Chains A and B, each alone.
Chain A
Amino acid sequence: MSTQTAPALVLKGGPEAKTFLAEVDAMAATQVEACYQCGKCSGGCPLSYAMDYQPRQIMRLVQMGLDEEALRSRTIWICATCYTCTARCPRDIDIAGVMDALRVTALRRGVRPAERNVGVFHRLFLDYVRCAGRSYELGLIFMYKLRTLRLTEDLALGLKMFTRGKLAIRPEASRGRDEVLAIFREAAAGDAGGSAAEAAGGAAVAGAGPTRSGEAEGGGAR
């Protein structure tokens, strides 16, 4: 692909490759090993032109256990989960679900999103939901601009939307916010405990952290 900027791939093989594959399969409730590289996902993907790895290449990375390459890719953050790939895959792989699993795994392992601004957006969005039980677009946009220093982008558009009453001035809180907070707490607790529960799949890798495996394996030492 013309947008390909990634280094040459080195096959990891062995039990480690199987571990990562099993971890992703389990989380996405699908079978990435079924992929036979037909490329239908990539051909239909509306955002493939902006990705560093095509969706089919991501499937291959997962099959080969090249976790660092997959988790550090821009692709997983460019994907908008439109599910076109999932709907069309002749091998019935939930490709968009695999992208979810890779994003979740990247965050759990402390890998910073290669598309930084996309990561900032998701975090801020959920921060508002966590606090009020509902999202708050005006606050979200304001905080996003501050964090990403993209202060002037869309200023005119923002004003236009504001004058048409499309941006609520005050945040709206759900009366169920305590329950929502409890859900967030349960999610955080489950993730912490989850690593242990998923020990077979993830503990070794999670414990090793991104730097070590990134340098020792992703760099082509093997």
Chain B
Amino acid sequence: MTEKQPLRYAYYPGCSLHSTAREYDLSMKVVARAVGVELVEIPDWNCCGASSAHMTDPFLGFALPGRVLALAEEMGLDVVAPCAACYGRLAAAREEAARHPDYVRRLEKATGRRLSGSSRAWNVLEWLCQERVSAAVREALKRPLQGLAVAPYYGCLLVRPPKVTRFDDPERPVTMDRILETIGAAPVDFAFKTECCGASLGISRTDLVSELTGRILAAAADAGAEAVAVACPLCQTNLDSRQEAAGLRQGRTFDLPVYYITQLVGLALGASARELGLGRHLVDAMSLLREKKLA
């Protein structure tokens, strides 16, 4: 995080940003362009295996993200991983590489690539809040999001396990709050900032995800939030797509658009709703912005 950090990063979109979270990919690129950061997509990137790999095979859980790190090393760049799960796996793989030389050997044998641990993964929040980027955001600010009350929802993998992520406070993080302040929005403090949304159970145990997302949405709404901001495609998909079912379980109706933090930053930097993919949401993401004269 020193001034020496080059404003050039290897970009690892991961699978979600090419499908369910395309608006995250779009808004990420819009923001990078606006603040003068170059994102170079890792050409032959593969899936990090998400939770399925590390839950079922430790070597697989290491080697899939390990290969991505090796590719970034070849580019001589640090990696920005907008997906919190990808970020978590890349960070974990770097830790494991130091602990398991045998894993590194097996990865190098299978792929013919070298892994030394010289490249590290950045999550979107730490990437956005580094001095040079946040200064550029402040400078390029065109449309401060005045009067927009947003619950910053961090979820799990940006802050936990703390020994691996070494980012912010695992119980009460504030980085996204700061970013929201920078772009003129009003961050809402609430108790469920880092509670789990149910993650990959979204397909196999939808009932559990409806319960968990319901608790999070209720806490956000009760604290006065009009919208939720996230930095993870799984969080976004679960909070956005299960909102109706979650409301039924909680005996109330939720109407909280769930924005990627990069969409909000992009909006404040003057990008159009279309450029930011704001029409792709399941819970209407446009009405609130129009009401506030922000889009």
A residues with a Cβ closer than 8 A to B are 27, 29, 46-47, 49-50, 78, 80-84, 86-87, 94, 96, 100, 103-104, 107, 115, 117-118, 120-123, 125-126, 129, 133-138, 140-141, 144, 153-154, 157, 160-161, 164-168, 172, 174-177, 179-180, 182-187, 190-191
Contacts and interface: CB of A to CB of B under 8 A. Distances in A.
Given A174-B44, A175-B44, A183-B64, A122 B196 contact: no
A108 to B, nearest CB: 9
Nearest to A97: B161
B281 A164 contact: yes
B136 interface: no
A168 B110 contact: no
A112 B15 CA distance: 28
Contacts of B211: 49
Interface of B: 15-16, 18-22, 43-47, 49-61, 63-64, 67, 71, 99, 106-107, 109-113, 156-157, 159-162, 170-171, 194-196, 198-201, 203-206, 208, 211-212, 215, 241, 279-282
A84 B18 contact: no
Nearest to A121: B204
B160 A82 contact: yes
A134 B208 contact: no
Given A78-B205, A123-B56, 4 more contacts: A47-B196, A80-B201, A177-B46, A190-B59
Contact of A86 (B20, B45, B55, B160): B160
A134 B171 CA distance: 32
A82 B196 contact: yes
A36 B98 CA distance: 30
Contacts of A86: 160-161
A175 B61 CA distance: 20
A205 to B, nearest CB: 18
A80 B199 contact: yes
B55 A81 contact: yes
Contacts of B21: 166
B249 to A, nearest CB: 12
A115 B205 contact: yes
A122 B56 contact: yes
Nearest to A49: B211
A165 B161 CA distance: 33
Given A78-B205, A129-B47, A161-B20, A100 B110 contact: no
Nearest to A137: B19
Contact of B57 (A47, A104, A137, A180): A104
A87 B170 contact: yes
A129 B46 CA distance: 8
Contact of B196 (A80, A137, A177, A190): A80
Contacts of A129: 46-47, 49, 52-53, 64
B33 to A, nearest CB: 22
3 interchain residue pairs of minimum CB distance: A82-B196, A176-B44, A83-B160
Given A82-B156, A175-B43, A176-B44, A183 B107 contact: yes
Nearest to A160: B282
18 contacts: A47-B208, A80-B196, A80-B200, A82-B199, A100-B61, A118-B204, A118-B205, A121-B203, A122-B51, A129-B52, A134-B18, A154-B206, A161-B241, A176-B46, A180-B47, A186-B59, A187-B57, A191-B59
A185 to B, nearest CB: 7
Report which residue of A82, A137, A144 has the largest number of chain B beta carbons within 10 angstroms of its beta carbon: A82
A87 B67 CA distance: 27
Nearest to A178: B111
Given A86-B160, A174-B45, A165 B22 contact: yes
Contacts of A153: 206
B22 A134 contact: no
Nearest to B245: A157
B46 A167 contact: no
B155 to A, nearest CB: 8
A135 B47 CA distance: 6
A190 B279 CA distance: 47
Contacts of A183: 60, 63-64, 67, 107, 110-111
B280 A165 contact: yes
A46 B106 CA distance: 36
Nearest to B164: A83
A34 B214 CA distance: 35
A2 to B, nearest CB: 16
A161 B52 contact: no
A120 B199 CA distance: 16
Given A100-B55, A121-B52, A144 B46 contact: no
